[in-house]
Amino acid sequence: MEVGIDKIAFYTPKYYLDLVELAQARDVDPNKFTIGIGQDQQAVIPNYEDAVTMGVNAANQILTDDNRQSIGQLYFGTESGVDNSKSAAIFAAKLLNLSPYIRAMEVKEACYGGTFALMMARDYVKLHPDQKVLVLAADVARYGLDTPGEVTQGGGGIAMLVSAQPKLAVIEDESVFASRDVADFWRPVDRMAALVDGHLSTEIYKEMFADLWQRYQKQTQAEIGNFAAFAFHLPYTKMGKKALDEIIDQADEQQAERLLEALKASQAYARRVGNLYTGSLYLSLLSLLQQDAALQAGDRLALFSYGSGAEAELFTLKLQKDFKQIIAQQKVEEALDARQRLSVAEYEADFQKQLYDSSQNVESDYPKDSQDAVFTGWRDGQRI
């Protein structure tokens, strides 16, 4: 039985920072950010948004009332969870008005958590084909002001509905994965921003991709020409190019040109949003599906998921007959164009306004007329 992604949606807050302005403020050549790193803009996350609100606001774009009743499980991949004990999925299930008779669980392993959630969803639906599973992957990617990681910040949420006979793409059975204990990026529980050895993380990412591609080829006899595109976890868009470069010499000239075009299509949204951590690979997928007009039903895509620490997986999708109609329902470019640009000073002030202290009864700056899920503030230690 075929199981996979039936629908996908993306949400990011309505503010962004222009990275040429950031480069000027940090006394860096703007070409380093726009060419060397491959980022033009980055999402700025106000103090009334968090992983829960962004996951919920993505899901509300695709869930029908019927879906809300037929979802049997909710898996939430995040590394910026809002509570050290309670699952982000429990907050989300209530806000989404799902049935109480579900499992609502949070998954954590850096940026890989969303992929684990997706794989668990596929396995569950294989056993329970009459049910659907909602997968959320949402994060705030924050390194701190004037750090080397600053240019790779961002944030947003992805929602995917996993079902039997999916309309968008089948998740194929064969995949390869690996775990390695590496100190490339981590966040001790007393910190709100990650610590990172950026150059090491880039190297480990590339090594794990090359290793898993080789393993996948051995296991399945696949060749690079079997895939219409590769989509990558994109902490910054240049990372996708670095990864593809690891294997591109296996392609003939025509295939290589095609894969580079597809890569560019997959990078378009990440260039404007930045890293989403768990959702980042799926924003690349959405970008690829919307921006690459050459893709056809039946095409196979290879996806590479990487989470620092580290965990990685290479898996494949097969595009379904109606994928173009399904994907056309998402208005991502319009949403990105409608965002409000913040000055560097406003972006820096946003850091000071974050509400990390649960001992204070405080309200966030949430818009009082918002139709979206918002974090309104702390009351008696509870996150409202």
Q: Which residues are catalytic?
A: 79, 111, 233
Strands (E), 12-151: 15-18, 41-44, 71-77, 103-107, 132-141
Q: Is 196 in the site for ligand HMG (CB under 6 A)?
A: yes
| Secondary structure letter of residue 343 according to DSSP | P
Q: Is 192 in the site for ligand HMG (CB under 6 A)?
A: no
State in angstroms the smallest separation of the CB of 233 from ligand HMG. 6
Of 4 and 113, which has the nearer Cβ to ligand HMG?
113
Of 121 and 151, which has the nearer Cβ to ligand HMG?
151
Q: Is 19 in the site for ligand HMG (CB under 6 A)?
A: no
CB atoms within 10 A of CB 310: 23
Cα 38 versus chain centre, distance: 17
Among 231, 239, 262, 312, indicate the residue that binds ligand HMG (CB under 6 A). Answer: 239
Pick the stretch among 5-13, 256-264, 303-311, 333-341 that binds ligand HMG (CB under 6 A).
Answer: 303-311
3-state SS, 26-58, equals: CCCCHHHHHHHHCCCEEEECCCCCCHHHHHHHH
Q: Is 18 in the site for ligand HMG (CB under 6 A)?
A: no
Q: Return d(Cα 207, Cα 226) in angstroms, integer.
A: 22
Concatenating the DSSP letter of every residue in 158-221 gives: EEEEEEES-SSEEEEEEEEEEE----SEE--TT-SS-EE-HHHHHHHHHHHHHHHHHHHHHHH-
Q: Is 262 in the site for ligand HMG (CB under 6 A)?
A: no
State in angstroms the smallest separation of the CB of 266 from ligand HMG. 15
Among 37, 63, 285, 336, indicate the residue that binds ligand HMG (CB under 6 A). Answer: 37
Q: Is 314 in the site for ligand HMG (CB under 6 A)?
A: no
Q: Return d(Cα 184, Cα 194) in angstroms, integer.
A: 10
State in angstroms the smallest separation of the CB of 260 from ligand HMG. 15
Q: Return d(Cα 373, Cα 53) in angstroms, integer.
A: 5
Cα 127 versus chain centre, distance: 26
Among 154, 235, 240, 377, indicate the residue that binds ligand HMG (CB under 6 A). Answer: 235
Q: Is 119 in the site for ligand HMG (CB under 6 A)?
A: no
Q: Is 42 in the site for ligand HMG (CB under 6 A)?
A: no
Pick the stretch among 30-38, 83-91, 115-123, 313-321 that binds ligand HMG (CB under 6 A).
Answer: 30-38
Q: Is 146 in the site for ligand HMG (CB under 6 A)?
A: no
Q: Is 32 in the site for ligand HMG (CB under 6 A)?
A: yes
Residues near 361 by Cβ (< 8 Å), separated by ≥ 6? 377, 378, 379, 380
CA quadruple 339, 340, 343, 344: dihedral positive or negative?
A: negative
User: To which residue do tokens 């309309």 refer?
Assistant: 167
Q: Return d(Cα 218, Cα 222) in angstroms, integer.
A: 8
Q: Is 149 in the site for ligand HMG (CB under 6 A)?
A: yes
Among 306, 323, 366, 378, indicate the residue that binds ligand HMG (CB under 6 A). Answer: 306
Q: Is 98 in the site for ligand HMG (CB under 6 A)?
A: no
Q: Is 166 in the site for ligand HMG (CB under 6 A)?
A: no
Q: In the complex, which residues of this chain contact ligand HMG (CB under 6 A)?
A: 29, 31-32, 35-37, 79, 110-111, 148-149, 151-152, 185, 196, 198-199, 201-202, 205, 233, 235-236, 238-239, 275, 277, 306-308
